Amino acid sequence: MAGGGPPFELTCTHEGLDALVRALRAEADGKELRKELAKNMREALKPAAVQAKSGIMAMSSSGPGTAPALRSAIAKKIRPEVKLGGRWSGARIKAFKTRNVRGFANAPKRTNRARGWRHLTYGREPWVQQHGKTLWFDHAMEGDTNRYTAAVHEAMEAMARRIAARAE
């Protein structure tokens, strides 16, 4: 290809990532290259995960349902996720379910929600409405999304340049 660019078009979209993954599959050591790309993309998103973790740890612990154990259990389940190929390709920060925390599997989702969640008081009636820190996950990375998007795109571009250098 003239100009020394990659042998495929790489754009900063899901289609561009799909094109990069297809090019990686065509390489002899494509599996190792895919693993390296995924690792580099996760590394690019680690600061965003740290911001989300600090968002939940800043939640008040003044109520019976927001003990420090709940906040730290939610923080442990926040991590960058990268998938290359299949039905969904991309990179994101995800708060996974907290299955073994006081029967509160959806703790990350419920504590982020503005309307809160309902639960029984000490396992008996009455039901009470409890509120966490509203939008702690949504607002944690606000203002920095362009920086993290650029970091992920740079990881993609670096792998594309590496493949292009092989083709020459």
Total-model pTM: 0.75
| Amino acid identity at 151 | A
Query: Is residue 112 within 8 Å of residue 135, measured between CB atoms?
Result: yes
| Amino acid identity at 93 | I
* Rounded CA separation 107/96 (Å): 9
Beta bridge partners of 130: 117
Better-predicted residue by pLDDT, 5 or 162: 162
pLDDT at 133: 80
Q: Which helix (H) or strand (E) holds 81?
A: strand 78-83
3-state secondary structure of 17: helix
Query: Is residue 129 within 8 Å of residue 116, measured between CB atoms?
Result: yes
* Rounded CA separation 27/16 (Å): 17
> What is the three-state SS of 35-60?
HHHHHHHHHHHHHHHHHHHHHHHCCC
Better-predicted residue by pLDDT, 91 or 1: 91
DSSP 120: E
pLDDT tens digits, one per residue of 14-69: 677 778 888 887 778 888 888 998 999 999 999 999 999 998 888 876 655 555 47
Q: Which residues contact 148 (CB under 8 A, 6 or more apart)?
A: 44, 45, 47, 48, 141
- Give the C-alpha distances (Å, rounded to integers) separating 94 from 51, 74, 79: 12, 11, 6
Q: Which residue has the tokens 């939008």?
A: 135
Rg of the chain over all Cα atoms, to the nearest angstrom: 21
* Rounded CA separation 158/73 (Å): 35
